[in-house]
Amino acid sequence: MRVVPLTDSKIKAFKPRGKPYKVADGGGLYLHMSVAGSKIWKVRYKFRDKTTTISLGKYPVVSLKDARVLRIDVFKKIENGINPKNKVSKNKELATFEKLCSKYFTHRSDLGKEYVKDSKALLANHFYGVMGEIELNNIEAIQIIECIEFMNKKGLSEAIRKAGSMLDRIFKFGTTMQMIQYNPMRDIDMSILIRPYKKKNFVHITDEKEFKELLLDIEEYYGNFITKTALRFMPYVFVRPQNIRAAEWVEFDFDNKLWSIPKEKMKTQRDHIVPLTDSMINILDEMRGNGSKWVFPSPQSPFRMMSENTLNMGLKRLGYKDKMTSHGFRHTASTMLNEYSHIHGIGRDMIEVQMAHTIGGVEGVYNKATYLTKRRSLMQFWSDFLDDLKA
C-alpha cells in the first residue's frame, strides 16, 4: 500500500485514541502517538538481519523536516556498517575500541606485517561497525556476541576462533594499560558461540520449460521497477545476489562491455570480470540516471543498498517460493551451460571461472586477460540462449 507523506497540518490534527498508534511518513520513518498525546519520531530499520527501531525525538521539538534529515543519517550509517543505536563518544579524547586496537598493534612490534594486516581487516569488517567508536568502558559482552553471531550466519567459524583469542588479548592489553576497567571477553564462552557452518541448498530450476516460464513471469512482474529490472538482469550474469545488490556504476565499462567487480565484494577475495552483451546493457540502460551510486538501489531510498531479502521476496510474489531463489540462478546457469557444452564448446573449467568458483588447476594459473575471449563467447551464448527462451 502506498504511503502518503505527512504534513505539519496532518500531524497537528492527530489526537490520542486511548491506545498507542503510529502514522507512517515513508522510508521507515513514522510518528508514534502515545496514549497521553506525545508524538515521537521513530525509524524502523534492519541492521545485520535484525529489524529494530530508533527514536529521533519528540515533535515539534524535532520538526518534520528535521526528522526526514535524521532518517537519511540513520540509513547512511547502516550503509557504512554502523549500527545507528550505538552511542559514540562525542569527546574525541576519550578512548574507543578502535583506538585501543590501534595502540595494541603499535605496541606489538613483534607481530608480522601480514598478520597485522589480516587482523586489522578482520576487526574492521566484523567489529568496528558495531563498537568501533564506542567509549571503551561502555562496551559490553552483548555487543561482542552480536558481532560473533553475525559471523556465524556467514559460516566464518575459523575467523571467529581467531577473533575470540585476538579480542581477549586486545582487551587484556587495555586493562593492563588502564585504558579500560575490565575485559568484557571474560564473560564470554567462545566454545558455546562457535557453530559449525551448515551449507545452504538453494532451491533452483533446471527444467528448461519451467525456466522459460520464470523468465517470462519476471518480464510481467507487477512490483517495484528496480526489483523487476534486477531480477531481469540476474539470469544473464549469474553472479551472487550480493554482487547484484552492491553493483555500482563505476564498476561498468560500457565501451569495452565489461563489469569489473573488485575483490572486496567477492567471496573468493579475487577481482572478477563479467563480459557484457547487448542484451545485458539494454537492461542496465533502463536504470541509468537513477540518481544513485548503486545500479539497483533500495526501492525506499537511492542512498541505500537494496536489502538482502528484496530479490527473494520478488520471486515469492511471482509464485516461486520453494521453487527458485535469487542465488538459484547460479545453479541453473551452471547446470544448463554444462549440459550444452557440446554446443558452445567451452569446457567446465571456464564455466567455473566465470562463476568465480575456486578450483585447483585453473585457479592456480588464472589470468583474466588469457581467458577473456573464451568467457565472452560463453556469456554471448548464454545471453542468446535466454533471449531465445523469452522470444
pLDDT in tens, the chain (391 residues): 566 888 999 998 998 887 888 888 888 899 988 877 888 899 988 876 778 888 888 898 889 998 998 888 888 877 767 777 765 544 445 688 888 999 999 999 888 888 888 889 889 888 887 787 778 888 888 889 888 888 887 778 888 888 999 999 999 999 999 888 889 998 888 888 887 655 555 778 889 999 999 999 999 998 899 999 999 999 999 999 999 999 999 999 999 999 999 988 887 778 899 999 999 999 999 999 888 999 999 988 888 899 888 999 999 999 998 899 999 999 999 999 999 999 999 888 889 889 987 544 444 444 444 478 899 999 999 999 999 999 8
Asked if residue 360 and residue 216 are part of one domain, the reply reads yes
Determine the pLDDT at residue 365: 40
Asked if residue 198 belongs to a domain, the reply is no
Determine the pLDDT at residue 103: 92
| CATH code of residue 176 | 1.10.150.130
Query: What pTM value is reported for the model?
Result: 0.53
Asked if residue 350 and residue 239 are part of one domain, the reply reads yes
Asked if residue 343 and residue 258 are part of one domain, the reply reads yes
Asked if residue 252 belongs to a domain, the reply is yes
Asked if residue 176 and residue 235 are part of one domain, the reply reads no
Cα distances (angstroms) measured from residue 351 to each of 66, 165, 219, 232, 273: 51, 40, 26, 21, 13
Contact 56, 62 (CB under 8 A): yes
Asked if residue 89 belongs to a domain, the reply is no
- Decide which of 53, 79, 105 is a domain's last residue: 79
Asked if residue 134 belongs to a domain, the reply is yes
Domain range for 229: 208-390
Asked if residue 152 and residue 115 are part of one domain, the reply reads yes
Asked if residue 240 and residue 169 are part of one domain, the reply reads no
Closest C-alpha to 100, from 7, 198, 166, 56: 166
Q: Provide the 3-class DSSP secondary structure of residue 24.
A: strand
Say how far apart CA 144 and CA 160 lie, in whole Å: 11
Asked if residue 131 and residue 219 are part of one domain, the reply reads no
Asked if residue 151 belongs to a domain, the reply is yes
Determine the pLDDT at residue 114: 82
Asked if residue 240 and residue 349 are part of one domain, the reply reads yes
Asked if residue 362 belongs to a domain, the reply is yes
Closest C-alpha to 74, from 40, 27, 32: 27
Per the rule left: phi > 0, alpha: psi between -120 and 50, beta: everything else, 18 is left
In which residue are the cell numbers 563480459 written?
Answer: 275
Cell of 260: 569489473
Q: What angle do CA 225, 231, 232 make, to 5 degrees?
A: 90
Over its C-alpha atoms, the chain yields an Rg (Å, rounded) of 25
Determine the pLDDT at residue 201: 59
Asked if residue 105 and residue 40 are part of one domain, the reply reads no
Determine the pLDDT at residue 86: 67
Asked if residue 1 belongs to a domain, the reply is no
Q: Provide the 3-class DSSP secondary structure of residue 55.
A: strand
In which residue are the cell numbers 529494530 written?
Answer: 52
Asked if residue 250 belongs to a domain, the reply is yes
- Decide which of 165, 193, 221 is a domain's last residue: 193
Say how far apart CA 355 and CA 349 lie, in whole Å: 10
Please name the amino acid found at residue 83. N
Closest C-alpha to 33, from 53, 44, 17, 45: 17
| CATH code of residue 383 | 1.10.443.10
Asked if residue 232 and residue 186 are part of one domain, the reply reads no
In which residue are the cell numbers 527514536 written?
Answer: 55
Asked if residue 132 and residue 73 are part of one domain, the reply reads no
Asked if residue 213 and residue 332 are part of one domain, the reply reads yes
Q: How many domains does the chain have?
A: 3
- Decide which of 79, 112, 132 is a domain's last residue: 79
